[in-house]
Structure 1
Amino acid sequence: MKSRASHLLLAMLLLTPSAQANLTIHPMRTSVGAEKAAVIRVYSQSTQPQYVQASLRRIVDPAGGGEHEVEVPASQADIALTPSKFALAGGGNRLVRVIPLHGVEHETAYRIYFEGVRAPQDGAVETPADRAQASIGVSLVWGALVNVLPANGSVRLELRGHTLRNTGTLRVGITSVADCDAAGTCVAHDVSRSLYPGASLQLPVTVDPGHTLQLRYRLTRDGYREHLERLKPLSPE
């Protein structure tokens, strides 16, 4: 998996590298489905009240070479956050719900960012937290990865030469691959990569005729449960 996808904690220090995070979140990764919402809890690490804002971005080409994030208007997003802005008491915590809005055809990845911001200016009085943030000049941003699952997801993988392609509708988190001969002797190769629907992966081995590729992988919906599948190479297109 690419570093952007595997490192979910993002800290941006604007002026000083010695600042401490004034909030944390849990979990750092979750998923929602057609009938399954999720929750993320935001914890205050400060004795002062804070005002927190959550923002949403869609991940394009997740875990791929062209991975990047784009802002998504609320009207076009597959999920909604409630609340997206809230006050957080010193030492307190707040639950944010991640709600699926409509179904998706393929597993999709989003990242939700949480950051401390200034309180609304419509008649609000500056709080100690506002003054502290202004004096420190630091903004720490936490990012949580959220996968949106299709209602009837499927796993389909094709092997042609040393190219593995995900033709299904679910992300496949590959944990290992092995080249196995007809006698069942397998030679393992190190591969650790998330393969999203429509993506391809160049394997470190070409499976010879009569051999099979043994894949061990995990699915978002199954957590740490590991699946095992053997693939026969298809003829080159």
Structure 2
Amino acid sequence: MKITAFYLIPIALLLAVPAHANLTVHPMRASVDGKRATQIRIYSQSTQPQYIQATLRRIVDPAGAEESEVEMEPSEAAIAVTPGKFALAGGGNRLIRVIPLQPVLQETAYRVYFEGVRGPEESSAPEGEGAQANIGVNLVWGALVNVLPRDGTVLPAVHGSTLRNDGTLRLGITSIADCVGNRCTAHDVSRSLYPGSSLQLPFTASPGHTVQLRYRLTSDGYREHVQTVTPSDI
């Protein structure tokens, strides 16, 4: 496997040359639940035809300090993107399907990149000043795709001053509160906590206190869940 990193999505260099792949991608975030495919639509923002290539990479330690992206063989991926390469008419759009290939044990993150490539006639054109004049800025769009396990579980746990996700679903944490009885002091948090990941609480957990979490799940969109957790070792 080869680990690669991508930094600006989309990547746009401010150069006075025409840009290939003038397109937009919607949605930029999608999910696959193991049974049903999801769809991403690519819209052309150009009057000229374009050739687009889709590439898939798995995200390692998503939303964590060591986040990186891994290239893999198609047989190793939990999902497939079809078509992987296509022509996009000027001003048109194209529907791309992301289909499940194999089940996952815990929620897994992938990135699908869409970028402009040379078309058949461009690939066969001789190199020279004319060919170089047509080479512009390559815009790359990356859509996040989360693959969900068939029977996902939510199991946050607090160990001392650390919140750990011991379940199999990503928790989109929006608030962590320190509670004594019904009296809570909330701290706004914006963090995705994937299975097996942990974060430091914004306060020191004390004996007799509980921790109230507000979070969202990938499959529920903006619906907020509330759960109270009792620290295990204070």
* TM-score, L = length of structure 2: 0.89
Q: Are the counterparts in 1 of residues 17 and 136 from structure 2 also a CA contact under 8 Å? A: no
Secondary structure at the aligned position of 1:221 is classed as helix
CA 1:134–1:106 in structure 2 vs 1: closer, same or farther (change >3 Å)? farther
Deviations 1:192-233 (A, max 9, x none): 100000001111112211111110000001111100000111
- Structure 1 residue 19, shift from structure 2 partner: 6.1
Secondary structure at the aligned position of 2:134 is classed as helix
Alignment match, 1:120: 120
Letter in 2 for 1:98: V
CA 1:17–1:178 in structure 2 vs 1: closer, same or farther (change >3 Å)? farther
Alignment match, 1:230: 228
Alignment match, 1:164: 163
Distance 2:190 2:89 in 1: 41
Alignment match, 2:42: 42
Percent identity among equivalent residues?
A: 65
Alignment match, 1:12: 11
CA 1:10–1:180 in structure 2 vs 1: closer, same or farther (change >3 Å)? same
- Structure 1 residue 120, shift from structure 2 partner: 3.2
Distance 1:193 1:36 in 2: 27
Secondary structure at the aligned position of 1:70 is classed as strand
Secondary structure at the aligned position of 2:75 is classed as helix
Deviations 1:70-98 (A, max 9, x none): 11211111000110100010000000000
Q: Are the counterparts in 2 of residues 9 and 144 from structure 1 also a CA contact under 8 Å? A: no
Deviations 1:25-64 (A, max 9, x none): 1000000011121000000100000100000000000000
Distance 1:173 1:133 in 2: 46
Q: Are the counterparts in 2 of residues 14 and 137 from structure 1 also a CA contact under 8 Å? A: no
Gaps of 5+ in 1: 1-7
Distance 1:118 1:228 in 2: 50
> 4+ runs of 1 displaced by more than 2 Å?
11-15, 17-21, 123-126, 131-137
Distance 1:213 1:15 in 2: 47
Distance 2:106 2:201 in 1: 23
- Larger relative strand fraction: 2
Q: Aligned pairs, how many? A: 224
Deviations 1:94-134 (A, max 9, x none): 0000000010000000000001100136x9766xxxx7995
- Structure 1 residue 137, shift from structure 2 partner: 2.2
Q: Are the counterparts in 2 of residues 106 and 169 from structure 1 also a CA contact under 8 Å? A: yes
* TM-score, L = length of structure 1: 0.88
Distance 1:181 1:149 in 2: 35
